[in-house]
Amino acid sequence: MIAFVGSVFSPYYAWARARGEARAEDHAALNVALYGPRARWAMTERGAGALARTADRFVLARSALAWDGTALTIAIDEVAAPLPQRLRGRVRLFPAALAGHAEALDGPGRHRWRPIAPVARVEVAFAAPALAWTGHGYWDANAGIEPLEDGFAHWTWSRAPVGSGAAVLYDAVRRDGSAVSLALRFAADGRAERMPPPPQAGLPATLWRLRRTTRADPGAAPRVLATLEDAPFYARATLATRLCGEHTTAVHESLSLDRFRAGWVKALLPFRMPRRRGPR
């Protein structure tokens, strides 16, 4: 799940910027992706009239996120795309601790990343489709003052449970040709420890021929367990890998902003990312 104010992957936001009339609050969305036999996807974009925010609450049409100091509760009431199916349920995320860590992903600090709760427990209960489970989770935030594609050409990210904590890897190629590589290990109490970035390891390209790489312990050979999203500019997968001396399963993302810049890619996106006018 991703809550957007100024959806970085919105073709409507990109077209509005090109016209010189873009306002982040007019391009808000809640992206929800369920995988497996009852897979559904929702990312309906809405304008400022459907959005309300306070320090501890985010409301977008019929969906809402609320933080009570102990848990983040996400109430989901969306319509999936491209097949219009109801997507309704609740997710609760209980952080083991809140991390005070933050990073600038570029030199000037126009793009910032904060891993809010690198280690968390989640409770999931959906009515449509009917399913429920509990497991471990992760909560972070990205913010920027320029379009993502203006700052970066490509990046990869991954997060994996390690011991009682988690390891997070970030690699990005900036528009000026420089690169950033972050390797962080988080303890269950939120403390962050920088690690030397492990060696790079190749992964198979996606069906859209999107290049994928990751990092893993020396001698390890990470493999793709499942490709969850395979889009022209973005891929999400689960990996079997080894980090910090442990065999683990990572969630991995690859993002090509060069691909996203292409007009033909933006023309495809409304099929998965419809835009709805009005407060609902």
Beta-bridge mates of residue 141: 114
Output the pLDDT for position 195: 96
CA 241 to chain centre: 20
| 59 token code pair | 């409301």
In order along its 280 residues, the chain shows pLDDT tens digits of 999 999 999 999 999 999 998 999 999 999 999 999 999 999 999 999 999 999 999 999 999 999 999 999 999 999 999 999 999 999 999 999 999 899 999 988 899 999 999 999 999 999 999 999 999 999 999 999 999 999 999 999 999 999 999 999 999 999 999 999 999 999 999 999 999 999 999 999 999 999 999 999 999 999 999 999 999 999 999 999 999 999 999 999 999 999 999 999 999 999 999 999 766 6
Total Cβ atoms within 10 A of residue 34: 19
Query: Residue 107: its pLDDT value, please?
Result: 81
pLDDT of residue 133: 96
Cα Rg of the chain, angstroms: 18
DSSP line for 183-223? EEEE-TTS-EEE-PPPPEEEE---TT---EEEE-STT---E
Which pLDDT belongs to residue 280? 61
Domain that holds residue 269: 2-275
205 is a domain residue: yes
Tell me whether residue 199 is in a domain. yes
- 280 in any annotated domain: no
pTM score, two decimals?
Answer: 0.94
Amino acid 108: pLDDT: 86
Contacts (Cβ under 8 Å, ≥6 apart) of 226: 35, 237, 238
Domain count, the chain: 1
Residue 85 counted as domain residue: yes
The answer to whether residue 31 is domain-embedded is yes
Q: Assign 119 to helix, strand or coil.
A: strand
Residue 253 lies in a domain: yes
DSSP letter at 238 equals E
Among 116, 151, 137, CA closest to 8: 151
* Residue 147 structure tokens: 């379009």
Burial class of residue 264, CB neighbours in 10 A (0-12, 13-18, 19+)? exposed
